[in-house]
Structure 1
């Protein structure tokens, strides 16, 4: 059995990150007969590290950031909805949806990682934000969502209020940026960085190449 570690650099308000992760899971499933074990590790990145605590209307933010029209924004939103349907994920992007600061969310994911619940926490936050329209920069919301996946609510409150993991999250973000990763999602498979929500077949090919190189 060959074991490959995949480092996924992503943000929980990045829609293509959840699409990319679902594609990765499909790629892994397609390799069931290849004698390859895949270990996925999550790493933090913030799409908008300077985002205010109250956030910004999502549509306005996207139009300003990428210099696109309202019509183009609407077309992109529909494209996401269709991509979500293809992977069994609901993008419920209401007109009043907000782009949110995710620094607290990344600290919560790190807290969850120590309990072996990073994947569950990451997936719950994707659903809370994109499907349920929750404010994942709100402490009470984060405590509730962490409780859903089995984390201790008092422990979450203490960790986030004290910012116990703030420095380590910043250090991780900086480390990946120094490695040249400027966009999310990015998958580091073996020694190869693969950016974007690539198709499952593409990701599977990279995984096989990494496994073959490791076994050479």
Structure 2
């Protein structure tokens, strides 16, 4: 047990389950009244690291990668939409939604961490993508979202052309993969105890209670 706890959330901004998991974790933190004892840091994971800059229509992608039919995908997205609504979030899985490359977003999240705005930017990008039909692999859109959370957008966007910054994200991704992360969300409590998947509020409360000695 400890006075404070750091939670590393390994996730991707285009992972709907990551958003659901975070919302439930935050609900657990709020219900326990331990906001001042918890530090959250987002860690990079790319669900589609080989995705082209053009992206790929979700139906086509799921059919190609998983052999899923349109009906399969519709059932999955309807379920996610329901779960999102339960957490106060709107998932808009419109017909033309694309699977995109998210590496630029991860570089910008690393930048935002320096200013204590990592969670704010993460949530803004997820909302932009899933609720507002925005392509968050587009630099113009990323620029606007950076401004929305109060970051220096021009400075941040320059980071995308910095080879060292890109290499750093790739190195961090490998670090979490080497720790056994194969799917997200994966949450590490004080770098030790880990939970994979979007768990229930009660599960997160149990872990927090144990780790904080409540």
Q: Which residue of structure 2 aligns with residue 49 of structure 1?
A: 49
Contact in 1 for aligned 2:11/2:44 (Cα 8 Å): yes
Q: For residues 63 and 41 of structure 1, what CA distance do their matches in structure 2 show? A: 34
Q: Which residue of structure 2 aligns with residue 112 of structure 1?
A: 112
Gaps of 5+ in 1: none
Give 3-state SS (helix, strand or coil) of 1:2's partner. Answer: coil
Q: For residues 35 and 112 of structure 1, what CA distance do their matches in structure 2 show? A: 20
Give 3-state SS (helix, strand or coil) of 1:13's partner. Answer: coil
Give 3-state SS (helix, strand or coil) of 1:165's partner. Answer: helix
TM-score normalised by the chain length of structure 1: 0.93
For residues 116-145 of structure 1, the C-alpha deviation after alignment (integer angstroms, 9 at most, x for no partner) is 110110000000100011111111111111
Contact in 1 for aligned 2:29/2:35 (Cα 8 Å): no
Q: For residues 160 and 36 of structure 1, what CA distance do their matches in structure 2 show? A: 33
1:155 aligns with 2:161: no
Matches within 5 A, 1:127-146: 127-146=127-146
TM-score normalised by the chain length of structure 2: 0.94
Contact in 2 for aligned 1:2/1:35 (Cα 8 Å): no
For residues 2-55 of structure 1, the C-alpha deviation after alignment (integer angstroms, 9 at most, x for no partner) is 2111110000000001011000001111211x7971111110000010011100
State the Cα distance separating 1:59 from its structure 2 match: 2.0
Q: For residues 63 and 194 of structure 2, what CA distance do their matches in structure 1 show? A: 28
For residues 49-102 of structure 1, the C-alpha deviation after alignment (integer angstroms, 9 at most, x for no partner) is 001110000122123323322211111010011011101101011100000000
Q: Which segment drifts farther, 63-72 or 3-12?
A: 63-72
Q: For residues 63 and 35 of structure 1, what CA distance do their matches in structure 2 show? A: 42
Q: Which residue of structure 2 aligns with residue 202 of structure 1?
A: 203
**What's the C-alpha RMSD, in Å, of the aligned pairs?**
1.7
Aligned pairs, number:
212
Matches within 5 A, 1:58-207: 58-190=58-190, 191-207=192-208
1:28 aligns with 2:20: no
Give 3-state SS (helix, strand or coil) of 1:42's partner. Answer: strand
Gaps of 5+ in 2: none
Q: Which residue of structure 1 aligns with residue 9 of structure 2?
A: 8
Contact in 2 for aligned 1:2/1:36 (Cα 8 Å): no
Contact in 1 for aligned 2:20/2:87 (Cα 8 Å): yes
State the Cα distance separating 1:164 from its structure 2 match: 4.9
